[in-house]
Each structure stands twice: as C-alpha cells, then as structure tokens.
Amino acid sequence: MILLTGATGKTGMAAAKAIAAAGKKARVVTRDAAKAAQLTALGHELAVGDLSDAAFLREAMRGIERAFLLLPNTERQGAMEAQFTDIAKAAGVRHLVKISSIEAHAGIGARVPEMHAASEAHIKASGMAWTMVKPNFFMQTLLAASAGVKARGELTMPMGNGRVSMVDCRDAGAVIAKALLEPGHEGQSYKLTGPESLNFAEIATRMSAILGKPVKYVDPPLTAYRENLLKALPDPWRVEAVCEIFATTAKGQREIEALTDTVQRLLGRSPVGLDTFISDYKPAFA
Ligand SMILES: NC(=O)c1ccc[n+]([C@@H]2O[C@H](COP(=O)([O-])OP(=O)(O)OC[C@H]3O[C@@H](n4cnc5c(N)ncnc54)[C@H](OP(=O)(O)O)[C@@H]3O)[C@@H](O)[C@H]2O)c1
C-alpha cells in the first residue's frame, strides 16, 4: 500500500490522479475529509489527520510499503519531516519518496531549500530506500500574481532579470506517481524543469500573446514586495521564506536557470511548457 501526503494540494493531487490512472490505489492524508471528495471518487482510501500528530501517523503507516512526503513551507516543516521519516522507518516502510527542491543544498542562504537539504540527509541516513523529487520553481507560483495580471495587466514579482526553468507541478505529480509505482527509482534524485528558461519580462510577453491583452513585468524592490506580502500572508516566517527564494532567483543561479531532461526521460513526453500552463489557467489571469 502507498501512503500519499499532500494529496489535496497542487502536486499531491496530480500524483493521486496519476496513481488512479495506473489502476492503483493509495491511502491519502488530509486534515479535512470535506476536501477529499475528488480523491475518494478516484478510489483512494482516506486517512484524516494532522502530520504533526505522531499517534495519527503511526496508525496511517500501518501496512504501508511506500510513502510520499510533502509538507508546505512552515517553520515546523523540518521537524515534521524528520518525525515522519522516523515513524515511517519504525513502521517498516521500505521506500520513501520526498518532494524537495532543485536548489536544495546547505549554505544557499534561503531557509526552505536548506531545510529540504537537511530533510534529504535525514532520509538518506535512515536506511530506507529513497527517491528525491526536486522540482524547480512551479509555474503555478505565477498564480500568486494573477490578480495583478487580471486587473492591471501587470506581472509583479521581485525577480530582477533572473531566469528560471519553471516546471508545472502536474509534471512533478506524474514523476512522483512513477517513483511510487515502479521499481528502479531507489537512490535517485530527480531534478525537474520545464522545457525552457525564461526571465519574467519574457514570461509577461508570453502572457500578453496567450491572454490577448498587454501584460508588462513589474519588478518591485524586495522591501516593498515584502510589506505587501505581509498584508496578505499572516505568517512572517513564510513571508521571509518566500522573499529569500525570490532573492536567490533574482540574483541568478545555475540550478534555477539550467534545463534538465528528467521529465522527458521518465514520462516519455515533453514537459508542460509555459504557453500550455497559461492557456490551462487562463480564467485565473484573464
Ligand atoms: N512552489 C514551488 O515553486 C516549489 C518548487 C519546488 C518544491 N516545492 C515544495 O513543494 C511543497 C509544496 O507542494 P504544493 O505546492 O503542491 O503544496 P500545496 O498545494 O500547498 O498543498 C499542501 C498540502 O499539504 C497538506 N498539509 C498541510 N499541512 C498539513 C498537516 N499539518 N498535516 C497534514 N497535511 C498537511 C494539505 O492538506 P490538507 O489541507 O488537505 O490537510 C495539502 O494537501 C513544499 O515542500 C515546497 O517546498 C515547491
């Protein structure tokens, strides 16, 4: 049996759909059963609880051979991932697949990739088989700027002239499902990118063409962006985490700019491109 966390979210839902499309079932975790109607309709089994709750986790891990670990970025993420790993090991889970990030390494100067690097190391030291799925910046992150695109034709993100080989999280979900369903992915780190590396002015130009209206890139100072974000997000830790990631992107960085062929190699098809992403999410932008 497979345990799938984050299954009501963007990436986990894509993995849940791919697992169901392969004719398999998983035990899916959510804190809120009301959010899981689509998952039960796919034939998945529900485990309702919070991943910070060790007793719930021990129960959810019963009979599990392969597990997928995804948690959103919070101050507690690292501690919760370590607890998940230790309980999985004690429960006899054989293979742990974790979502990490392409730039996860110590000393990068951003708390989220550094946390992912520490969590990867903890899993690798556990003795369980592992697969690290390491996506670049998700295209879906552009949805955070969609209201400005819709209302004013402005894509406002503090990315300077940084280039990013963004990936669609639906591709990440498909890779996660593959790593859980097939043998041969043990001990692999999969860096995932889309098919091209673009800066944000180029992304705005693509939006203009596909949405059929002018969209211009606005690059605010990071301090002003942080202040605005603090009004929308009640968690100052998270705001700082987002700003750190954006600052490393704006500076330009090899891992974030480079392209990989991992999606093509694993899925046997091209990764979703930015134009397709914008078309698929057109109602959010236009
Ligand atoms: N954004 C990017 O560009 C990017 C790039 C590379 C890697 N990543 C990594 O991807 C991960 C986020 O993935 P995502 O964007 O697909 O997530 P998401 O859409 O924000 O979904 C979060 C999921 O986590 C579940 N969850 C949250 N807190 C929980 C808790 N305490 N107990 C149980 N479940 C909990 C939620 O389930 P319920 O609400 O139903 O309980 C939901 O299914 C992060 O680790 C991030 O670092 C992101």
% of the chain exceeding 90 in pLDDT: 96
For a ligand 1 pocket test, name from 83, 101, 142, 233 the mutation site with the most ligand atoms within 8 angstroms of its C-beta: 101
The answer as to whether 285 is a domain residue is no
The answer as to whether 153 is a domain residue is no
The answer as to whether 267 is a domain residue is yes
The answer as to whether 160 is a domain residue is no
Mean pLDDT of 22-32: 98
Tracing tokens 């002018």 back to the chain, one arrives at 214
Q: Are 173 and 12 in contact (CB under 8 A)?
A: yes
Compute the distance between CA of residue 85 and CA of residue 216 in angstroms, rounded to an integer.
44
Structural domain boundaries, residue 96: 2-136+169-193+258-272
Tracing tokens 């949805």 back to the chain, one arrives at 143
The one-letter amino acid at 29: V
The answer as to whether 107 is a domain residue is yes
The one-letter amino acid at 70: L
Burial bucket for residue 283 (CB in 10 Å: 0-12, 13-18, 19+):
exposed
Please, which pLDDT band fits residue 144 given cuts at 50, 70 and 90? very high
* Whether the model pTM is above 0.85: yes
Task: Please report the sign of the dihedral spanned by the C-alpha atoms of residue 127, residue 95, residue 87, residue 134.
Answer: positive
- List strand residue ranges (DSSP E) for the chain, in order: 2-4, 26-30, 45-48, 66-69, 95-99, 129-135, 154-156, 163-164, 188-192, 198-199, 216-218
Burial code of 207-232, b = ≥16 C-beta within 10 A, e = fewer?
Answer: bbebbeeebebbbeeeeebbeebeee
The answer as to whether 238 is a domain residue is no
Closest CA to 179 of 136, 131, 142, 216: 131
How many folded domains does the chain comprise?
1
For a ligand 1 pocket test, name from 5, 84, 98 the mutation site with the most ligand atoms within 8 angstroms of its C-beta: 5
Please, which pLDDT band fits residue 234 given cuts at 50, 70 and 90? confident
CATH number at residue 77: 3.40.50.720
pLDDT tens digit string along 53-103?
A: 999 999 999 999 999 999 999 999 999 999 999 999 999 999 999 999 999
pLDDT tens digit string along 256-271?
A: 999 999 999 999 999 9
The answer as to whether 60 is a domain residue is yes
Tracing tokens 């790993």 back to the chain, one arrives at 85
57-to-40, 120, 267 alpha-carbon distances in Å: 20, 19, 31
pLDDT tens digit string along 151-166?
A: 999 999 999 999 999 9
Compute the distance between CA of residue 74 and CA of residue 90 in angstroms, rounded to an integer.
25
Q: Are 207 and 275 in contact (CB under 8 A)?
A: no
Q: Which atom of ligand 1 is nearest to the CA of 102?
A: 6
The answer as to whether 282 is a domain residue is no
Task: Return the CA Rg of the chain.
Answer: 19
Closest CA to 213 of 281, 158, 285: 285
Model pLDDT, residue 255 = 87
Which residues lie with the beta carbon below 6 Å from any ligand 1 atom? Answer: 5-12, 29-32, 35, 50-52, 70-73, 99, 101, 112, 135, 137-138, 141, 169
